[in-house]
Structure 1
Amino acid sequence: MDLPRKFTIREGDLRIINPIDDAKLATLGRAIKLAPGTSILDLCSGKGELLCTWARDHGVTGTGVDISTVNTAAARARAAELGVADRVRFVHGDAATYVAAEPVDLAACVGATWIGDGVPGTLEILDRSLRPGGMVLVGEPYWRRDPPDEETVAGSHARSRDEFRDLPGLVRLFGECGWDLVEMVLADQDSWDRYAAAHWLNLRRWLDANPDDELAGELRQELTDDPLRYVRYRREFLGWGVFALLRR
């Protein structure tokens, strides 16, 4: 069980594997008023930047779960680098089936609602580990503009127009699932650019160093296609945010 190698090549040395940057991640931690000792479960925790920086800045504790051995190792190294390895731990495993041993104050899935086949299922997964009155964080795309055709939908990395909602529709969905939206931090075009463009440099550097690798042809085509696809479709049509929710 592991993440395909092309993902870790593309992500390279990125610490935050979604379209918010370190400043927005810090803003989110302040906005939800994290208290020392807050217990967090972070499903699909990536390289652990959320848990590690919040442990350093707010004194939280927690567990991150991720399917990638590369990401899990990077998260453990980051915890050691920031001096918080005694407060956070990282588990290589299936986030979709993981349940915390003890209910947590905050359960997060930031940018990977595929684990529950969408927002409603992911909220159910998070709720399994949440104490009564606890908070969940969900990172999710939404349509900034209505895509005019299937080419735009596909260019935005959506399987169908209905895979994502617009922002009012996403907020409405949270309510339909029984949750109040109490905070949010949204990506902007600059943080989207920094996330997307970093992939291209990572791909080019890897291709230069590994021209004979079995993935070279596929990733060369991605580097050829993705910049134009991004500026034509995702940058204009797709938004992304992290949403803090409390059960009604």
Structure 2
Amino acid sequence: MHRQQISSIAHSGHPIAAPLSDDSVHALLDRALPHGEARLLDLGCGSGTWPARAQAMRPSLRADGVDIDAGAIAAARRAADEAGLGDRVAFHTQDAAEFTSPHLYDVVVSVGATHAFGGLLPTLKAAGRHLSPGGSVLVGDGFWEREPDRATLDAGFTADEYVDLATTVDHVMAEGWTPVYGHVSTLQEWDAYEWSWTGDLSRWALDHPEHPDTGQALEAAAAHRDAWLHGYRGTLGFVTLLLRRTPTP
């Protein structure tokens, strides 16, 4: 079972690939989206939830979503067609780091997809290339709520993979960005995300006992659950920042 297939099944009940509730997603988009004609780009869009929800909130919005997962893009296109958004939302099967467009965008989103660019700061650099003057970037990434202990590191992290929240914001500002809003995911949001991730993957395996990938799916769910509950729960945080470029003197 490929990593992308595991991720697709695991996110079937929680289409935002990050520990964010529906209310948090709505609040973040409401602050990020301008009224009137505007364009949004989602780099690492998965099944297209951010563009679809943004377009539902701002009907005059046009949006593009980019993801390397062809299956996720196909699902995004089907959902957009079923919702009648086919002429307002476009999806592209491509490496988000290599995407080019003739347009500049009023909002660039990359939440839970910074791995596609090699980290938070490279993601901001990539997003900035697509941003119109005065536009905003909505980016979400991890940080350390507390110093990672041995259990967290044994779960597959490295101590220098993240920094604390204050240092994360300092690094972002040093790269020429000003936070205009932010949301730190709550433990409740984290738990809902992780129970959904592991539960949906487990449910799929239990519902398909004859499938050749059932055993692998159960193992992946169990390994993820163990890493979360015995490792990074309460240590790994997640922050979503709404940023604008800092004017240069």
The offset of 1:143, in angstroms, is 0.7
Aligned runs of 1:186-225 on 2, under 5 Å? 186-225=184-223
User: 1:79 aligned to 2:80?
Assistant: yes
Partner deviation per Cα, 1:190-240 (whole Å, 9 max, x = no partner):
211121111222222222233354433332223333334322333210111
Could you list the runs of 5+ residues in structure 2 that have no partner in the other structure? none
Residue equivalent to 1:104: 105
For residue 117 of structure 1, what is the amino acid of its counterpart? G
- The answer to whether structure 1 residue 39 and structure 2 residue 42 are counterparts is no
Deviations 1:87-108 (A, max 9, x none): 1111111101002211111112
Give distance in 2, aligned partners of 1:121 and 1:33.
23
Which residue of the partner structure matches residue 163 of structure 2?
165
What percentage of residue pairs aligned between the two structures are identical? 29
Pair 1:49–1:4, CA change in 2 (3 A) = closer
Equivalent position amino acid for 2:173 in 1: G
The answer to whether the 8 A contact 1:20-1:186 is kept is no
Decide whether the 8 Å contact of 1:49 with 1:78 is kept in 2.
Answer: no
Shift of 1:35: 1.5
The 1:113/1:224 distance shift into structure 2, 3 A limit, reads: closer
Q: How many equivalent residue pairs?
A: 244
| Aligned residue runs from structure 1 range 1-248, under 5 A | 4-59=4-59, 60-149=61-150, 151-155=151-155, 157-158=156-157, 160-248=158-246
Distance in 1 (alpha carbons) for counterparts of 2:71 and 2:192:
22
Q: Partner amino acid for 2:245?
A: R
TM-score in terms of structure 1 length: 0.90
C-alpha separation in 1, matches of 2:89 and 2:198: 31
Contact 2:33 2:107 in 1 (8 A): no
The TM-score normalised by the length of structure 2 is 0.90
Q: CA offsets per residue over residues 103-125 of structure 1, 9 Å max, x none?
A: 11111211111222111211111
Conservation of the 8 A alpha-carbon contact between 2:182 and 2:241 = yes
CA–CA distance in structure 2, aligned partners of residues 190 and 246 of structure 1: 29
Post-superposition shift, 1:25? Answer: 0.6
CA distance in 1, matches of 2:175, 2:66: 24
Quick one: distance in 1 between partners of 2:168 and 2:222?
33
State whether residues 110 and 138 of structure 1, in contact with CA within 8 Å, keep that contact through their aligned partners in structure 2. Answer: yes
Please give the root-mean-square deviation of Cα atoms over the aligned residues, in Å. Answer: 1.9
Query: 1:124 and 1:243, CA in 2 relative to 1: closer, same or farther beyond 3 A?
Result: same
